[in-house]
Amino acid sequence: MIEKTLVLIKPDGVERKLIGEIISRFERANLRIIGLGILKPNKQLMEKHYPKDKKWIENLGYNLIKTSEESKIKIDLKKDYKVNNVYELGLKIREWLINFMCSGPVVKIAIEGPQAIQVVRKIIGKTIPLLAEPGTIRGDFSVDSPILANLEKRPVKNLVHASGNQQEADKELKLWFKRSELIN
């Protein structure tokens, strides 16, 4: 099944000069680049990119709490993050994500190939760099920690974003690329 998906090289990946390395990994996997560009995203674009549904936002908050608990770091939502509940914490984390993505240039890549969504995610590696396997982009080049990110009140710097499923890929490709920018 031929699929199309979106990859974004985040500001940390651009700043570290990993654009060519990242793109070459997709090409070596015989995936086809059908759209490519570089831009500095604005808040309006990033507001549309990141979901606003309650479940997704609460999940951001729960992930921070889970990471803190696993690291034996005690947190107080009100004192440490100035929020009253997990949803408000998720909104704050979403804001960190948006601010980070607007902090510098981002490379947008439209990719096509057999089972492209799953293949791209395998090449990228797990979201948390420490858990990403060697040989993946995040496993080889990302050194950030969710514990440090939580303490510094920012998102994990993990170099790349990739669509998680077909529905997300369709939405994100339409958001980041005009139809005329994609090669058939």
Q: b or e along 13-23 (b: 16 or more beta carbons within 10 Å of the residue's beta carbon)?
A: bbeeebbeebb
- Maximum C-alpha span of the chain: 53
Q: Is 161 a catalytic residue?
A: yes
| CB-CB neighbours of 28 under 10 Å | 9
Whole-angstrom distance, CA of residue 94 vs CA of residue 43: 12
Contact 137, 8 (CB under 8 A): no
Give ∠ CA 84-70-68 in degrees, rounded to 5: 30
Q: Which of 10, 94, 157, 161 is catalytic?
A: 161
Name the residue type at position 6. Answer: L
Name the residue type at position 16. Answer: R
Residues that are catalytic? 161
